[in-house]
Amino acid sequence: MVLVSGTGSNLQAVIDAVQAGELPNVDIAAVGADKHDTYGVQRSAEAGIETFVVNFKDYEDRKDWNHALTEKCLSYAPDYVVSSGFMRIVGEEFINAFDGTYINTHPALLPSFPGAHGVRDALAYGVKVTGCTVHIADAGVDTGPILRQEAVAIDDADTEDTLHERIKVVERRLLIATLADLAKSK
């Protein structure tokens, strides 16, 4: 199962890898989003994958939304839930339901530069190398066991956008390799 909030470029890479036979043991049970009209949901619908939306704005509070998201995801009985640009912090109920099986990608070499602005923070700090991380998400912010990481050099001319695009290329490859490894072990 994959959760998205935006364009779903990582999701598309996984869909493409599944369709190309690069992930023969991976089946995307469903794609869910936290808001309507995301391109990620459109991508999955076009690929014939079941989609759903648990719109954050439809709930009184974060706890109610988190409960609804947890229940909806559990209904698919996924082996793993992949946060693919899912820009909501899930609560304890969700983390406990998918303990050890909630996978996140992050555009920095964790534990450096956690949070929503990893690329911007790396540039502001002046590091010469950043990268991306695939990890098991836990109750912390971008904490949890690291599954894979790869460095990306920062060019002097990089902007937040250009660097983030280069990181995304590596992120897609690492996510696919991680999913292949996890599928072999199931």
Give the length of the chain: 186
- How many angstroms separate the CA atoms of 2 and 40, rounded? 10
Pair 105, 175: CB distance under 8 Å:
yes
Residue 106 annotated among the catalytic residues of the structure:
yes
Active-site residue, selected from the candidate residues 106, 117, 135, 164: 106
Q: Count CB-CB contacts under 10 A for residue 5.
A: 18
Catalytic residue numbers, as ranges? 106
